[in-house]
A and B are shown apart, each in its own frame.
Chain A
């Protein structure tokens, strides 16, 4: 239904999720974080997941990234059934195919920008050079700096460089600009957009900031653990034109 004509030319699916349900049980408390979500992500596209807190978007992202398994439903990454994978297969999956960008950057404070990227390139099959990844995010002049010597925006760009350096198939970003002011946020989004464009990495970006949706190809809205709408964005705006 959503993709219409484009589905003819972009048949290659990165993710196909069917009936994904996630129920958290803590003590007597039962929280339905996802209630039967169906979703397909296509290779190379940049989608934005929008929704209020607790709507299930982060839970879905975690499941896509192999950090968590759904209570019910199936998820395929290309031909691999993520929902049937063991813990160690999930680790390998993350290692080989997924790049993560977090709200709080999660850089290793004891490693420089270059070394933080090196952390990932050392264990990847066909990575780019750390310097190259940092060049893509515009930090070629900050290679030897430690996280404590970088601004928040710079730290997040290092995190992006770290995520893309292994040439992942998918890039999952959870509130990447959540801790940043808008001006810095735009620089970060530019880096993401460039990575998506130049490397063709399927990118899913969580935000509750509606302004960001204009840089995506599709906007998927969440509420109460369900997808309430998927809308195509006919005109992708470059990040520098976004405002919020």
Chain B
């Protein structure tokens, strides 16, 4: 079979082959935009739908509250609160676990299962096994990731210290819960499956263990559609207050949900910001390249038209060129997007523990991506295509007038200086096409900025780590007691093996209120001269806990609209629940876990209690660590142990897993944009000036001198864009910094010099590589044809 290709199409394919480098760069930029769009849309959809499905399936509650001990009869009153659909009481407790094969103790949250049937709210999705039997008090179900982290399976046992008694528990079920999709243990900064898990037991067994027969200490409820959540919370607080309730909270403040939705928001934001930027770059490149092709092919266009091809046929050729470039980018982008999305979901599966569905994209998203990229293609190519259509044959075949320059503005400026003519050529050319030069600068600058913004995350996290783990929280461990204890407990701990030094802490759950603004927080009572857990100001200088008044984390102060010297209302949520006014005498800078601080003795006075502590920070001699852990595993009074090195490890791990993937993507994309923009700029400059450069070679200019003229322009544009990019990156990081902060941590705005340096170096290398590729072409310039052809 003979395939006949009409001459216009042949020309099209040859044109495409000729501009393959530039064409690929354009397609690659389109592909980046499309892939980011598909990956983020698909990931958001998968996360969002899986979340909703999981919440529905497990009947995830809308409101939560814990208290000390409330009689079962209170449930009826809670159910009467207008807007409540279902309410369910539970017994929950945080306990120390002794897991085979793990030296240090882990933390578990015991959650009761109802006597009959499955939980009405916050149900467990069993991955394997069954619910624990009410008849066998030692049977438990545990969270699947926790079991996996310890290679525990059905039938295995582990020990827990339940209300002072060490008990052996048998695993009969492995499950997942909406309460711990993001499984943050008490006091932890990052999820750590080894150190925290939820454990379900029969209610009967837990009631017996904690002396809570006929009582509960945890309630969750779902609300009717249209219920006033704030009002429900207020009424619930009133009901549970007499029973040691420490404040109810809505799903929005439930930690796991909070992090999941936060992640979704961030994904949505980046999915909305980045793809359009890439497509705009593509529009610009297409415009420049196709305009250039039409300009160099004036004569051909004239000839085609003279031969009788219609305007539409000629225009269609150039439009097809645009469509092919965009089409290639679109297809690549879709494939890349599917791959990226798939790897993002794989990453999220290690991060969020629930039945997350596989990555998949709604056909509508593909259709939108196609429509958007075609739209971008048309936007970029239409001007040039119209130019081709509009050329009349006679005009097309006459040589174009030389590019006009005038003695005005910048051109005149360059006449005044004593500079060499080649340098003058560079400056004149740059200033002759200010929009194009400007867009090239913006394009390259943007890639620098994107790089800075991506690397800024690392700087910021490193700063957090340095300040938090090495300056503010220098303890090896923090032991948290089940109940506040007399301050003398500190001496007992000092006698434990391997303990070098200790620092007592009294932590009190409070609601801080300023007018109508309020926030659930903890006040940490710390001693002066503390050497482990220390307060730092914004310059990371050590400050002492103020003798009178409160030191408040900057971010709480901001949230509550409080400043130094103001007074804050402290509503204590536990014990005797005093309400007092406390002056703010210091503002402290914190990046992780924002809190309020008072002197320990002052806090004890505020609580109307004697010297009391709720946890102790401990510095441990690592040689005796194992011995200490063994002792602690058998210490019932200790409810939780937060190990700083483990916290640091899990912090770093989480950051590495999640951020490095994204940062890697963005650095690659930034380099690609830099390359695409610079390569096109160099190739366009070469194409426009090949004849002039060949003429100069004929006049006796060396290859190096001619290369200087060509690449000097690229060099100047790159040089201008580097500082512009640094500024842009600074601005982008500055505006991203608060957007990334959550209630739990804050990304400080820090950009290390190395970040600027690397960004500048990587983008410069991109530009230099473009320059080297283009230089080869300068060396191959055909001098003789340059003389024979007119522009």
A interface vs B, CB < 8 Å? 58, 62, 65, 67-68, 88, 91-96, 98, 100, 102-104, 106-112, 115-116, 118-120, 122-123, 144, 146-149, 155, 162, 174, 179
Contacts and interface: CB of A to CB of B under 8 A. Distances in A.
Interface in B392-416: 399, 401-407, 415
Given A95-B701, A119-B699, A148-B404, A110 B425 contact: yes
Given A104-B791, A122-B421, A144-B415, 13 more contacts: A62-B787, A88-B702, A93-B700, A104-B787, A108-B421, A110-B425, A110-B428, A111-B425, A115-B415, A116-B421, A147-B405, A148-B405, A155-B402
Given A91-B702, A115-B424, A106 B787 contact: yes
B700 A111 contact: no
Nearest to A95: B700
Contacts of A67: 698, 783-784, 787
A144 B405 CA distance: 11
Interface stretch (B245-253, B571-579, B628-636, B689-697): B689-697
Nearest to B688: A109
A184 B750 CA distance: 68
Given A110-B405, A148-B404, A94 B699 contact: yes
Contacts of B692: 106, 108-109
B786 interface: yes
Contacts of B420: 122
Contact of A119 (B401, B696, B703, B787): B696
Contacts of B407: 112, 144, 146
B780 to A, nearest CB: 12
B700 A91 contact: yes
B405 A96 contact: no
Contact of A110 (B399, B432, B691, B699): B432
Contacts of A96: 700
A94 to B, nearest CB: 4
B546 interface: no
Nearest to B401: A148
Chain B: interface size category: 35 or more
Contacts of B401: 148
A22 to B, nearest CB: 11
A91 B789 CA distance: 21
Interface string B686-723: 00000110011111111101000000000000000000
A110 B415 contact: no
Contacts of A119: 421-422, 696, 699
**Which 6 A-B residue pairs are closest in the complex by CB-CB distance?**
A95-B700, A148-B404, A110-B428, A106-B695, A94-B700, A119-B421
B790 interface: yes
B402 A109 contact: yes
A174 B787 contact: yes
Given A111-B425, A147-B402, A148-B403, A102 B700 contact: no
Contacts of B404: 109, 146, 148-149
Contacts of A155: 402
Contacts of A144: 407, 415
A146 B421 contact: no
A5 B405 CA distance: 53
A95 B415 contact: no
B698 A146 contact: no
Contacts of A103: 787-788
B159 interface: no
B402 A107 contact: yes
B414 to A, nearest CB: 9
B699 A162 contact: yes
B429 interface: yes
Contact of B698 (A100, A110, A111, A179): A100
Contact of B787 (A91, A102, A115, A146): A102
A87 to B, nearest CB: 8
Contacts of A123: 700-701, 705
A146 B702 CA distance: 24
Contacts of A147: 402, 405
A134 B699 CA distance: 17
A163 B762 CA distance: 44
A68 B429 contact: no
A172 to B, nearest CB: 10
A198 to B, nearest CB: 21
Nearest to B431: A110
B697 to A, nearest CB: 7
Contacts of A68: 783-784
A58 B702 CA distance: 23
Interface in B171-185: none
A116 B402 CA distance: 14
B675 to A, nearest CB: 27
Q: Select the residue from B415, B428, B699, B703 with max chain A CB neighbours within 10 A.
A: B699
A58 B405 CA distance: 32
Nearest to A102: B787
A157 B701 CA distance: 21
Q: Which of B421, B432, B695 has the most CB of A within 10 A?
A: B421
Contacts of B699: 94-95, 100, 119-120, 162
Contacts of B786: 106
Nearest to A114: B415
Contacts of A149: 404, 406
B405 A146 contact: yes
Nearest to B692: A108
A119 B706 CA distance: 12
A87 B730 CA distance: 49
Nearest to B412: A144
Contacts of B424: 110-111, 115
Contact of B405 (A93, A109, A174): A109
Nearest to B705: A123
21 contacts: A58-B788, A88-B702, A91-B700, A93-B700, A96-B700, A104-B399, A104-B787, A106-B691, A106-B692, A106-B695, A107-B402, A108-B425, A110-B428, A111-B425, A111-B428, A112-B407, A118-B421, A123-B701, A146-B404, A148-B403, A162-B699
Contacts of A92: 700
Nearest to A90: B700
Most chain B CB within a 10 A radius of its CB, from A110, A116, A119, A120 = A110
A111 B421 contact: yes
A108 B403 CA distance: 9
A15 to B, nearest CB: 18
Counting chain B CB atoms within 10 Å of each CB, which of A104, A107, A155 scores highest? A104
Nearest to A145: B407
Nearest to B786: A106
Which has the most chain B C-beta neighbours within 10 Å: A100, A104, A106, A149? A106
A144 B420 CA distance: 16
Contacts of B784: 62, 67-68
B403 to A, nearest CB: 4
A55 to B, nearest CB: 15
Contacts of A110: 403, 405, 424-425, 428-429, 432
B123 to A, nearest CB: 75
A100 to B, nearest CB: 5
Which one of A98, A102, A107, A116 has the greatest number of beta carbons of chain B within 10 Å?
A102
A94 B698 contact: yes
Nearest to A100: B698
A190 to B, nearest CB: 23
Nearest to A155: B402
Contacts of B702: 88, 91, 95
A58 B698 CA distance: 14
B298 to A, nearest CB: 15
A91 B698 CA distance: 8
A68 B415 CA distance: 35
A59 to B, nearest CB: 9
A224 B698 CA distance: 26
Nearest to A146: B405
Contacts of B402: 107, 109, 146-148, 155
A214 B786 CA distance: 29
Nearest to B702: A91
A88 B697 CA distance: 11
